[in-house]
Amino acid sequence: MKRNDFLVFGSPYIEEPEIDEMVSTLRSGWIGTGPKVGRFEELFREYIGAPYAIALNSCTAALHVSMIVAGIGPGDEVITTPMTFCATANAIIHTGAKPVFVDVKKDTMNIDPDLIEQAVTSRTKAIVPVHFAGRPCEMDRIMEIARRYKLMVIEDAAHCIEGVYKGKKIGTIGDITCFSFYVTKNVTTGEGGMVTTPREDWADKIKMYGLHGMSRNAWKRYSDEGFKHYQVIFPGYKYNMTDMQASLGIHQIKRIETYYKRREEIWKQYNEAFKNLPLSIPSPPEKETRHARHLYTILLNLEKLKTDRDTFQQALYEENIGTGIHYISLHLHDYYRKTYGYRPDDFPNSKFISERTVSLPFSAKLTDDDVEDVIRAVRKYIMLYFKK
C-alpha cells in the first residue's frame, strides 16, 4: 500500500534543543562566527580525540583549505577514488593540482590500496581516501604507502564521524581529516564542515585561511572585549562557520551515540528483510573497525531483474519513498571524462556500482512505520521485476 506522504531521503532529525539554541542565537545578535562555533569545535574535538578541530562552512571548504595548507598546488597530483561526491575531486582541482583516480573494491566501495601504489608518480603529493558510506578505509596500508613515498594523507570523512579503525577514531589517523555536517549527515548544521589535525601550525593556518587570511581570532574584533585591529596575512577564503550553524551542532553532537544506536537497529532490519533477494546488501564491517552507518546502499542484481536501476528508483518514488544514488562514478561525468580522457571501463568496479546502487532512507528520524514502508516497497518491486 502506497504511503500517504512522501518519505524524504536524508531528512534531518532536528529536536527542540536545537530550535531553542537557534532562537537564543538570533536574539543574541551574534549570528556570525562567535563563541558557539568555539564551543562546537571543542565538543567535536573531544568526541574525536584529535588535538585540534577547526569548524568551516562545508566539507568542501575543509578539503580545499586543507590541501592549500598542506602545500598542494599546480603541477601536483593527488590520488583519490572516483566513487565519491564531486567535491572531493573539485577541491583538488581548485588548488591547481590534478586528481588521479584509482578504482574501489566492489564489496567495500572504498579505494583499493593495491592500486594506489601503482598510481604514484614523481608528481604525487597526497592521497585522499574516502570512507564511503561510513566504512573506514584500510588506513594501515594507506598510511604505509604514504610514509614510504613521503605523501600526505587527507581523509575525506564526510560519511564517517563515528568511524573507528583498529582502535583509532577516524580523524586521528591521517595528517588531516575533513568532516561534513550537510543536511543529510549523521550530525547536521544544515551546511558545515570540520577539520581535525595533530599539527598546531596547520590548525592555525586553516582557521586563518578560512576567514579571508586575517590574523588569528579576527572574529573577536567586534566583541565586548573591545575593538581589535587585524592583519591580512594570506589571500584567504570565506569559509567560516556561523553561530547559527553551530547552534545545531552543539546539540547534535551530544546525541550522536543515541542516533547511532537507532541506525544500527534499522540497519539490522534492512539486512534481515533483503538478505534473500536478488540484490547485494552492504558487506559486514571489517574486523577491528566501526562502521559509521551513514548510508545504507543496496546493489541491484540486474542480471536477475527485468529493469535497470533508474526505473527501480522511479518505482520507489511512485510509492512515496525517496532514495539517493551514491554515486555515479566521477569518471563517467562529462567534465572529468573530457578533461582527463577517462573511459567508462577505466574503473570497472566503480562503473559496476554506479549502474546498480540505490541508497535507501536511513536516519535516526525514521519511525518503525517508515522502515516497514521502505521494506515493503523494495520487496514489492524486486519481486515484480524478478526474472522468473
Q: Which amino acid type is present at position 56?
A: L
Has 185 been annotated as catalytic?
Answer: yes
β-bridge partners, 168: 165
165 burial level (CB within 10 Å; 0-12, 13-18, 19+): buried
C-alpha cell at 268: 539490522
C-beta of residue 108 within 8 angstroms of C-beta of residue 129: no
Cβ-Cβ contacts under 8 Å for 311 (sequence gap 6 or more): none
Q: What is the dihedral of CA 212, 91, 283, 273, to 10 degrees?
A: 70
**In what helix (H) or strand (E) does residue 17 lie, and over which residues does it extend?**
helix 16-28
Q: Check 36, 105, 125, 185 and give the catalytic one.
A: 185
Peptide bond into 259 cis (omega under 30): no
User: Which residues are CB-neighbours of 178 under 8 A, at least 6 positions away?
Assistant: 59, 62, 63, 66, 154, 155, 156, 157, 158, 193, 194, 195
- Give burial (CB, 10 Å; 0-12/13-18/19+) of 380: middle
Sheet holding 296-300, edge to edge: 279-280, 296-300, 357-360
What is the distance between the alpha carbons of residues 249 and 256, in angstroms, rounded to a whole number? 10
Write b or e for each residue in 48-70: b if 16 or more Cβ atoms lie within 10 A of its Cβ, otherwise e: bebebbbbbbbbbbbbbbbbbbb
Active site residues: 185
